[in-house]
Copies of this chain bind each other. A is one copy, B any other.
């Protein structure tokens, strides 16, 4: 099996939607770290602890809460929300090293972000923004699909939308998508890739026809912003042919959808595929929301099926099998370079520490 791309560890990752975590123990593995989450009764904040008791490695997520403390389900070792041990069975003295890791967590834009790497480097102000997810005047549908494939396959997939024509033909793909040239910009400083595909005169795919009512040919823009490693946003604008936003940014003829993905590695060969679609039109129409949800989930699941298959193919192949890249892969290859650099930079401080 070819070695999967390692994870940059000193990065913010989406761990969950805020609504997923309440006052029950909730287990999720992020970047191969098993983690137990819960929201405290006292402050309502999200706690994230290493999901293995220091005593005999029992999963704390298989245990129970006593107030805001976790009581290990095997021998009763008890931890507070900082990961410190406050009780051990059969003795008064609590060993000094009895402590599990507590991970920095930030709640923002309806997401729970987690920092897996060195806690001293975690800067809450640097958490990426995804403001459309809960912005006034917008509405959002969303989901999370488990992907049995390495996260780099999903990055590849999302950074090249020409696959829409083939994998999602009859859904969101039309011949124009594959045929329209793309422009790719890489901002090495910001760790970011922009891929734009702007179709001035294109067919309206069934998905958009159904949700917007536009039946004729359209102007269709797909502007991707990928912030390595985790956050992907596709700014989608469709409008009648010839229509452009006004100088002040207002865009009454345009229909805007913000397609959000958070690409969070679970293990080296599996991924949490968070997805959401926010829109600024028909925001109160529950039927359209239901349609967008169903429709987008089907598209995501088409990707999941294809990438799961691809992971099995790759896992069986020897290291070093060649791929053949073409123009459409410019964004994906740029993303790979960014990820590689993040890993190298992120690990360097650890390796050169005295």
Contacts and interface: CB of A to CB of B under 8 A. Distances in A.
A89 interface: yes
A interface SS class? loop
**8 tightest A-B CB contacts, nearest first:** A89-B178, A54-B324, A89-B162, A90-B328, A76-B166, A91-B327, A75-B163, A57-B313
Given A55-B323, A314-B57, A323-B55, A76 B165 contact: yes
B306 A74 contact: yes
Given A95-B324, A324-B95, A327-B90, A162 B57 contact: no
Given A72-B166, A160-B75, A162-B76, A326 B88 contact: yes
Interface in A156-191: 156, 160, 162-163, 165-167, 178-182
B73 A166 contact: yes
- Categorize the interface residue count of chain A: 35 or more
A260 B322 CA distance: 40
Per assembly, the copies of the chain total 3
Interface of A: 34, 52, 54-59, 62, 71-76, 88-91, 95, 97-98, 156, 160, 162-163, 165-167, 178-182, 306, 309-310, 313-314, 317, 321-328
Contacts of A71: 166
B326 A90 contact: yes
